[in-house]
Amino acid sequence: MKQKGGTAMATVGQAVRTGERPLEKGLKPGALGLVSSTVMGIASTAPAYSIAATLFGIVAVVQFHAVIVAVIAFVPMLLTSIGYSEMNKADPDCGTTFTWATRAFGPRTGWAGGWAIVAADILCMASLAQIAGQYMFSLFGANGIGGDPTSGWVLLVGVAWIVVMTYICYRGIEVSARLQRALLSVEIVMLFVLSVVALVKVYSGHAPAGSHPPAIGWFNPFSIPTINAFVSGMILMLFIYWGWDTAVAVNEETKDRDKTPGRAAILSTFILLVTYVVVIVAVVAFAGIGSTGIGLGNASLSGDVLSPLGSAVFGGGGFGTFLSKLLVLMVLSSAAASTQTTILPTARTTLSMAAYRAIPKSFARMHPRYMTPTVSTLAMGGVSVVLYVLFNYLSGGFVIPDAVTAIGLYIAFYYGMTGFACAWYYRSTLTRSMRDLWMRGILPVAGGLIMYFAGGWSLWEDWDVNTGNSFTSWTTPFYPHWEIGGCFVIFFFSALAGVVFGIYSRFNDQAFFRKETLTRSTPTLVPDELAARALARKGAWRPSAFQAPFRYPRSYSSLMTLRSRSGVLAVGSAWRQSCSMTSR
């Protein structure tokens, strides 16, 4: 059989005969719709947490121009999300960049993309847990404890936070989605309330000293002092936007998985753009960029710029105090949402990697009732706790903000890789129509080039401690005794850990690296949603079959839908027959 564009199409029989068979994943199909997927994408970026944790650093390098940098950073995000959407149509696999880059460029490149996702998510968890710990104490008025991000009490609450969020993800995707809707509702409403009240006070003359009414010059990128400042701001903005790809990472659990995840990803980026522009304009206008008080240049606000604004914006009356506490709760809920949606895509990336035998197959084990990746989810939570404790005691805790900057490098790496993979994967059909040329070629590649330019520039600056990008540094114990920025050190050693784990995985099971489990022609195995529902009603759906050693009953195998670049390859009516089966 031939696919449009002249590429050979695999059949079910051929898929089984060519090389080793990958392990099925067993995620719960059809659990999420467009709204839930979009909520996942937005919640994963954690708008309130992201602004609280990074706006100080952005203002430090671009000052009043933070808003135009947010708009410009949206461009590569939008272009990359188009690449995600197009790749998801061909291969709706929860491994996303790992799977797509493997199909396009081979196992080594795909493995590197998968590790970048895992490394970025794990590094982020320390910052999320620390913010959650601080805001928990601030919520109850214990500002003396919450004001010290490295205190033992904050650490204890942060660790407990990771444990609770890991358990929620362990319990199932539908529980996670319901919680996300509630958390995101509080977050978005409070962000816009904060912005409206702050702007009203600025224009009415009731803002504190140092405030500045928004000016048209804030939107002029050519007024940014240097190219170094612009690129540094861009990298930090990548972190603020990062996370919408969670909408695609849960694609195998989504209704209409070929289209819904991609639409949710693109929709998420637009909603984030509007939110960030409004909030950044309001906060910068109200607080100003001074180095004292609530000014965004005040070094004491480096880890949190939102909570000090509460009493200043809302006042000290009864209702104002209530709104101030609600603002604290908003950032806390934002951290909760982001913690949860950071665990979700990481667990599904490692699940996909294990299913295709790129890492030990124990990571593909599924819970017999909740249909969630147990080992992957618990491993993510456990490693995050260890790193958080380690980072908290290194260099007075300043390793954590350096880790946030290092995350930007990984984001640029795997987002850009997805853009390139999209164009290369569809290279034989790009000239079929103008739509294919732009949506599958030019736009994703443009997004990838911007990502790689920003990442490469930032990597060089992170190496040089004199640029001031890092809070910490490391002097090599050997000649010539370089003093290297902490951001580069964190990126390098986390990448080195990936190399070591990759070598181990290659010797543990060589099937993936020999191109025996995943190639361009390997069909995507995902459960058919309608069949799964029918089997569940008949009692023939057996989630216990998702346990190792990965041998499945006919009722499960018959409802698997094989997909290739053009869609369904071979389905037949086998799932209908399986609906009449009864549980053995």
- State what percent of residues in the chain have pLDDT above 70: 81
Q: Mean of the per-residue pLDDT values for the chain?
A: 79
Q: Is position 374 within any domain?
A: yes
Q: Exposure pattern of 524-547 as b/e (b: 16+ CB <10 Å)?
A: bbbbbbebbebbeeeebbbbebbe
Whether the per-residue pLDDT at 576 is higher than 50: the answer is: no
Higher-confidence position of 61 and 174:
61
More confident residue, 497 or 342: 497
Mean pLDDT of 457-473: 83
Assess contact for 235 and 459: CB atoms under 8 A.
no
Q: Are 479 and 473 in contact (CB under 8 A)?
A: no
pLDDT value, residue 514: 93
Q: Which of 69, 278, 251, 316 is nearest to 193 (CA)?
A: 278
Q: Decide if 121 contacts 342 (C-beta within 8 A).
A: yes
d(CA 395, CA 407): 19
Q: Identify whether 568 is part of a domain.
A: no
Q: What is the pLDDT of residue 26?
A: 47
Residue 522 lies in a domain: no
Residue 545 belongs to some domain of the structure: no
What is the chain's Cα-based Rg? 24
Can you give the pLDDT at residue 564? 32
- What domain range includes position 358? 19-508
Look at residue 568 and tell me whether its pLDDT is greater than 50: no
Of residues 36 and 504, the one with the higher pLDDT is 504
Mean pLDDT, rounded, for 180-190: 78
Question: Could you give the percent of the chain with pLDDT greater than 90?
Answer: 35
The total number of residues shown for the chain amounts to 584
pLDDT, residue 22, reads: 52
Can you give the pLDDT at residue 364?
A: 85
What average pLDDT does range 16-36 have in this prediction?
54
Residue 209 lies in a domain: yes
In what helix (H) or strand (E) does residue 484 lie, and over which residues does it extend? strand 483-485
What's the rounded Cα separation, in Å, for the pair 357 and 547? Answer: 15
Cβ atoms of 498 and 119 within 8 Å: the answer is yes
pLDDT tens, 307-362? 788 888 998 778 888 888 888 888 887 777 777 778 877 888 898 899 899 999 88
| d(C-alpha 507, C-alpha 38), whole Å | 39
- What is the model's pLDDT at position 173? 54
pLDDT at residue 395 above 90?
no
Q: Quick check: 480 and 472 in contact, CB under 8 A?
A: no
User: Per DSSP, what are the bridge partners of residue 366?
Assistant: 373
Question: Rounded distance, CA 541 to CA 371, Å?
Answer: 11
What is the domain count for the chain? 1
Domain membership of residue 431 (yes or no) is yes
pLDDT at 399 over 80: yes
Q: Of 100, 99, 101, nearest to 356 (Cα)?
A: 99
What's the rounded mean pLDDT across residues 288-305? 84
Residue 562 pLDDT exceeds 80:
no
Q: What's at 96, amino acid-wise?
A: T
The residues, any chain, with a CB within 8 Å of residue 525's CB and separated by 6 or more, are 22, 24, 25, 560, 561, 562
pLDDT band at 202 (very low <50, low <70, confident <90, very high): very high
Q: Among 32, 146, 83, 129, which Cα is nearest to 529's?
A: 32
Q: Mean pLDDT lowest for which of 267-281, 415-429, 531-545, 563-577?
A: 563-577
At residue 211, the pLDDT reads 92
pLDDT at 552 over 60: no
Residues paired with 563 in a beta bridge: 524, 568
pLDDT, residue 570, reads 31
Residue 473 bridge partners (DSSP)? 485
pLDDT at residue 304 in the model: 77
Spatial distance between the Cα atoms of 238 and 453, rounded to a whole number of angstroms = 13
* Per-residue burial over 90-121, b = 16 or more CB atoms within 10 Å of its CB, e = otherwise: bbbbbbbbbbbbbbbbebebbbbbbbbbbbbb
| pLDDT at residue number 253 | 62
Q: How far is CA 488 from CA 75, 242, 388, 406, in A?
A: 26, 19, 18, 7
Pairwise CA distance, residues 398 & 579, whole Å: 57
3-state SS, residue 476: coil
Mean predicted confidence (pLDDT) in 148-170: 88
Domain for residue 169, yes or no? yes
Report for 34-43, 399-408, 436-445: range of highest mean pLDDT = 436-445
CATH classification at residue 355: 1.20.1740.10
pLDDT at position 30 is 55
In-domain check, residue 237: yes
**Among the listed ranges 60-64, 110-114, 173-177, 236-240, which one has the minimum average pLDDT value?**
173-177
Least confident of 92-96, 148-152, 177-181, 570-574: 570-574
Query: Average pLDDT, stretch 141-151?
Result: 80
